[in-house]
Structure 1
């Protein structure tokens, strides 16, 4: 891969504009238990990320959480959310370092650390950016020293990237800014900047805003090549190397500006983005070793939804996106049978504290004549052991089932070929539309919000 081979493995000097204290740890290794060493990332971006994480935790311990802004993407934890959050946090810190009001900011990945390697493309991109193995440079949800509902009240604020509105657990936080490429849901109308624009990648919008503000500064801060190349990686995989139907002018123009500052500046943009997309997409598809539980939590998003019901004012929804058919997923269980799929699923949703679970499967069906067809499935289950009893669960299941089957989005659902084997409050449909989570989730949420 010629673009990646051109990567310059130089260790750049730390920026004098950095607002966070620089790490005094050795660049090549950290002293581990019993005198053993483990590798640590090299380069300015890894150093800054690690030092920022340390500074945040030190300040929290000292009761100074109010000095911090958390930049967070959505809880799916894909490369776009991760990169957008890291990019904007870096920009906030460095662009204000020499001002009268320097900002302390840190990126938060709204996924637990144990789930990060369930996205091999993220691991590859971070490795290419010379970050510390094991993601020790990054702050994840399970590393937050305090529950988000409590912490959110203490922070200076939060910034949402690749995320139109905060999860309920962050609802008490002051929303400083929003940058997103999804539908505007009306959150924080006074946020600044507040950007909603169609683009293949939210990282495109974040990077464009960063470069616009950077170029307006009296003196530009240092932009590490590792971060620039991570930005290009995120845009490449979301835009199919700038060739997919989702690609916009903003994706192309911003990629040109980022490339010009990167270690790949002398290379052709199309070649770089094609190489990145090929390499990262190959890694993204390398999930054959994952079992069903891994697939369920790999791309999991959920939140609490308010309802009019005085008995149950909130209901927990969870959505999984899985690139395998239901039949193939069953084969990934210990017993390779239908009952075991629901047993594994029940164990995961119990751990996640979910009332209603929706699994969105997409796959290609191959026929004997060599043709293939893109198909999708929706799996609906409702539990009765978290916030709701059996009668309420039956009511919710009926409500959501009817909302999906009678949707106004033109999604024609057909019962799965083994639907007659399903148990109470379980349903699986097949459909041929391109509808994914962006269309299915609002249908479910609106139904639940009207449940009484």
Structure 2
């Protein structure tokens, strides 16, 4: 469902009227509008008119109006992790929608907005997100969504002004939000002790964090004197997030399955069989997720980048910036994607990216499959480590930090990491290992490296 709106960026905050919470269904249209003045010349946008799209766009508009008026203190920011996957994005949008609508008729209505902690131009690096948002009739170009690069103020400053933050799909806030009060946490990872007074504060092992958010939403919705409207677009987005994180329910917990059933019965897919529908969604989104061959090395590095400052006992360097990429290609295949198809070019691209984000240490976690002599597929993983000397640490420190992290990786018996077959060609403070621990993605490797950095003292 799309319709044109002619609101240029210069007048949109004042001229676009409020969106009705009960807009009637209209025939689907695809009408191109004038490009927003903040966008590149020649770009145009299809504006969604489904209730969910309208709510999201209007919430973004009102947030920016209030910021301009010095009323940021009235707002809660619901934020996922900086990787910006479908689960993180959906959980944030769902809870922001619930907070607004469940309190709309109360004496204390809540102003809440979902923040995607990724730049706008990085959102399409996850094709599954683009497909799910398009299926939910959201505006093209993600103009309905508030992204990190659209914040009108630095997070460190803004966190002092807002009412607070709610974290979804992540156990702790990024350091730049550390000044904000943590009001609630929903996560399916390990509890790190952040926000002890947050409410609700939910840590539970499920396939999808969206399961936890949707359960809380439905429980609270069903206890209201009168239920608010849940748009089918949001319900279907929730099902999409649970489907892709649970492998179409094949890897689901009982709770994932139970909540998916509750959501399905409220959606436009209510007549479908749960297993069939979730399998279908997983197939569609999974195919989209794998469509990455057109991406270059820089985009592969940044599409699932997660990083933050790590405290150290070093009096010279009390914090170090550490970042991780997850890339579904072998290192050799990535080298082939570079302009010159050579080893040095990959590291030049990596250096340009980490210089941009100010990372001292970067770790690329690669995974791919090979066939053995019997024709059976084996999963291979690689760890690519790089340490810079020009951000917070000098050359002597960089060498020592590189040795410290390398030793931590090589001493981890569960990895049994082996030097890459071309390790002798690597430059200073560069290393690549291979290993075959199938579950050793970021959740396994990150704590090993963070622990080494937290103990580093030079």
Fold-level match, TM-score > 0.5? Answer: yes
| 8 A contact 1:362–1:375 mirrored in 2 | yes
Alignment match of 2:276 (pick from 267, 271, 274): 271
Q: 1:17 matched to which residue of 2?
A: none
Which secondary structure does the structure 2 equivalent of 1:54 belong to?
helix
Residues 1:199 and 2:206 are matched in the alignment: yes
Instruction: Structure 1: give runs of 5+ residues left out of the alignment.
Output: 1-8, 12-20
CA distance in 2, matches of 1:220, 1:162: 26
1:369-384 equivalences under 5 Å are: 369-384=374-389
Normalised by the length of structure 2, the TM-score is 0.92
Q: CA deviation at 1:31?
A: 4.1
Residues 1:243 and 2:247 are matched in the alignment: no
Q: CA deviation at 1:10?
A: 10
Residues 1:326 and 2:331 are matched in the alignment: yes
Q: 1:149 matched to which residue of 2?
A: 156
Residues 1:47 and 2:54 are matched in the alignment: yes
Which secondary structure does the structure 1 equivalent of 2:161 belong to?
coil
Alpha-carbon distance change, 261 to 146 in structure 1, aligned in 2, over 3 angstroms = same
Q: CA deviation at 1:30?
A: 4.3
- Cα deviations across residues 273-294 of structure 1 (Å, max 9, x unaligned)? 0110000000000001111111
CA distance in 2, matches of 1:278, 1:147: 39
CA distance in 2, matches of 1:100, 1:407: 55
CA distance in 2, matches of 1:117, 1:360: 21
Which secondary structure does the structure 2 equivalent of 1:331 belong to?
helix
Residues 1:448 and 2:457 are matched in the alignment: no
Alpha-carbon distance change, 444 to 347 in structure 1, aligned in 2, over 3 angstroms = same
CA distance in 2, matches of 1:285, 1:36: 26
Which secondary structure does the structure 2 equivalent of 1:195 belong to?
strand
Residues 1:22 and 2:18 are matched in the alignment: yes
1:2-151 equivalences under 5 Å are: 22-23=18-19, 30-32=33-35, 38-151=45-158
Q: CA deviation at 1:55?
A: 0.3
Q: 1:395 matched to which residue of 2?
A: 400
Q: 1:424 matched to which residue of 2?
A: 428
CA distance in 2, matches of 1:23, 1:384: 51
Q: CA deviation at 1:35?
A: 12
Normalised by the length of structure 1, the TM-score is 0.93
Q: Tell which deviates more after alignment, 76-85 or 93-102.
A: 93-102
Q: CA deviation at 1:308?
A: 1.1
Q: CA deviation at 1:237?
A: 0.4
- Cα deviations across residues 150-188 of structure 1 (Å, max 9, x unaligned)? 000101000000010001000110000000000000001
Residues 1:262 and 2:258 are matched in the alignment: no
| 8 A contact 2:45–2:139 mirrored in 1 | no
CA distance in 1, matches of 2:45, 2:345: 39
Instruction: Structure 2: give runs of 5+ residues left out of the alignment.
Output: 4-16
Q: Aligned Cα RMSD in Å? A: 2.0
Q: 2:315 matched to which residue of 1?
A: 310
Alpha-carbon distance change, 240 to 35 in structure 1, aligned in 2, over 3 angstroms = closer
| 8 A contact 2:171–2:189 mirrored in 1 | yes
Q: 1:3 matched to which residue of 2?
A: none
Which secondary structure does the structure 2 equivalent of 1:66 belong to?
helix
Alpha-carbon distance change, 140 to 37 in structure 1, aligned in 2, over 3 angstroms = closer
Which secondary structure does the structure 1 equivalent of 2:186 belong to?
strand
CA distance in 2, matches of 1:354, 1:37: 34
Residues 1:166 and 2:173 are matched in the alignment: yes
Q: 1:177 matched to which residue of 2?
A: 184
- Cα deviations across residues 115-152 of structure 1 (Å, max 9, x unaligned)? 00000000000000000000000000000001100000
What is the total number of aligned residue pairs between the two structures? 433
- Cα deviations across residues 44-99 of structure 1 (Å, max 9, x unaligned)? 00000000000000100100000000000000000000000000000000011111
CA distance in 1, matches of 2:352, 2:104: 47
CA distance in 1, matches of 2:315, 2:46: 54
Which 4+ stretches in 1 moved above 3 angstroms?
23-38
Alignment match of 1:435 (pick from 420, 437, 440): 440
CA distance in 2, matches of 1:294, 1:101: 43
Which secondary structure does the structure 1 equivalent of 2:262 belong to?
helix
CA distance in 1, matches of 2:107, 2:46: 37
Q: CA deviation at 1:404?
A: 1.1
CA distance in 1, matches of 2:318, 2:131: 42
Instruction: Return the structure number with greater relative CO, CA threshold 8 A, min gap 6.
Output: 1
CA distance in 2, matches of 1:89, 1:415: 46
Alpha-carbon distance change, 10 to 133 in structure 1, aligned in 2, over 3 angstroms = closer
CA distance in 1, matches of 2:340, 2:92: 40
Q: 2:10 matched to which residue of 1?
A: none
